[in-house]
Chains A and B, each alone.
Chain A
Amino acid sequence: GDSVTQTEGLVTLTEGLPVMLNCTYQSTYSPFLFWYVQHLNEAPKLLLKSFTDNKRPEHQGFHATLHKSSSSFHLQKSSAQLSDSALYYCALGSGANTGKLTFGHGTILRVHP
């Protein structure tokens, strides 16, 4: 079945350092990957989603590349900001058009001055 693994539960960084949050997946069908960001007491918001034509999605300085060879969709940013502190979820959508997203357990990102 489908599954998503986010290896880090908590990532703590100093402002200005690069960010990388890991995400690997197992998918039965052609995968679509997403990153959602959730701030305290707010809705999970879509941050990025993968494309099928090898474009690299970018938003708010974050980017991620879908690597089917390694089944990965790691989230990266060159320089962390204090406002990036939040809970980040990697999610897998199935190409079978079920409308179902499978989520990882999430990674808390804490950025300090």
Chain B
Amino acid sequence: GALVYQYPRRTICKSGTSMRMECQAVGFQATSVAWYRQSPQKTFELIALSTVNSAIKYEQNFTQEKFPISHPNLSFSSMTVLNAYLEDRGLYLCGAREPGLGASQNTLYFGAGTRLSVL
């Protein structure tokens, strides 16, 4: 089956520092990886969509300068939160998409997330 692992599961960083989170797809080829943030007040906010061998597309209110993403191969992606502040707290979810047609091409398999706390 399709599994996605994220690590670390939890992390705490000081305000103004940076932290990196990783996402590993197992059992399938993750041609695309979507990074979401799930905060207590909001639903899933899409940060960016990364497709291997294509430019990374960031959503409005999210930038490469703040959330640089690396997606070097079909099983791994990482994202860094630079200069983290209180508003960056939340659960960061990685959703990996397998290649396919129809509904399958839009199906995301999620990791358990990296919960970021900022002091």
We find that the number of chain B residues with CB closer than 8 angstroms to chain A is: 23
Nearest to B45 among chain A residues (CB) is A103
Asked if B107 CB lies within 8 Å of chain A CBs, one says: yes
Q: Tell me the complex Cα distance, A113–B49, Å.
A: 42
Which partner residue on chain B sits nearest A42 by CB separation?
A: B112
Residues of chain A at interface, number, CB under 8 A: 27
Instruction: State whether B49 touches A100 (Cβ < 8 A).
Output: yes
CB–CB B43/A32 < 8 A:
no
A81 to chain B, nearest CB (A): 23
How many contacts A-B (CB < 8 Å)? Answer: 63
Which residues of chain B have C-beta atoms less than 8 A from A105's C-beta? 42-43
- CB of B55 within 8 A of chain A? no
| 8 Å CB contact of B107 from A46, A94, A102 | A46
Instruction: Please tell me if the beta carbons of B106 and A101 are within 8 angstroms of each other in the complex.
Output: yes
Considering only residues 20-70 of chain B, those with a C-beta below 8 Å from chain A are 32, 34, 42-44, 46, 49, 51
- CB of B69 to closest CB in A, whole Å: 14
Please, which residue of chain A has its CB at the minimum distance from the CB of B42? A105
- Given known A-B contacts A43-B93, A104-B43, A99 and B111 have beta carbons under 8 A apart: no
By the criterion CB–CB under 8 Å, are A93 and B106 in contact?
yes
**Considering the complex of A and B, which 4 residue pairs feature the smallest CB-CB distances, nearest first?**
A93-B106, A103-B44, A43-B112, A99-B32
A interface list, Cβ under 8 A from B? 32, 34, 36, 41-46, 49-52, 89, 91, 93-94, 97-106
